Amino acid sequence: CVAGFLRRFSFQPLRENPLLGPSSTTLGKMGALDWNKVVHQHQGWRLISCIWLHAGLIHLVVNMLSLLFIGIRLEQQFGFVRIGAIYLLSGFGGSVMSALFLRNNYISVGASGALFGLLGSMLSELLMNWTIYSNKVRKRKKHAYIFFYPAA
């Protein structure tokens, strides 16, 4: 069943794309970030569309696992709308930065900018509430010490 489903997609040989994915030409046609097309052909939509494209199955799985571990905790704490806004704005910002540093004839795909934005929001939440978290750590260490000390 899975093999039949995957047969519909075009995978390049491993020597061309070791991430088990399509060619760069295919990614370009699907909306990958290409500086020349964004600037000279006025295709600004590529700054957003590239967030949902990935270079291959391995790239997609790694990003989805990262989003799973980071996103679930943040979404439970702050809600879908806030985290969705952070994800989109961070992805857009990452695409803009990527476009500024891309050289001619290179493309960019993936949600790394959006994921780093979520990581940054997690870090800022940790720093803003550091006293709450540090007190919890101290209490847990104290309880662990009290619990395990008699056993020693």
116-125 per-position pLDDT tens digit: 999 999 888 8
Single out the residue of 115, 114, 121 nearest to residue 78, CA to CA: 121
Sorted by where each starts, the structural domains of the chain and their CATH numbers stand as 2-148 (1.20.1540)
The confidence score (pLDDT) of residue 27 equals 83
Q: Which whole number is the average pLDDT over 32-49? A: 93
Which has more pLDDT, 93 or 138? 93
Rounded distance between C-alpha atoms, residue 114 and residue 96, angstroms: 12
Single out the residue of 85, 104, 87 nearest to residue 95, CA to CA: 87
Q: Which whole number is the average pLDDT over 69-78? A: 90
Which has more pLDDT, 130 or 88? 88
Rounded distance between C-alpha atoms, residue 89 and residue 113, angstroms: 9
Q: Say what the pTM is.
A: 0.77
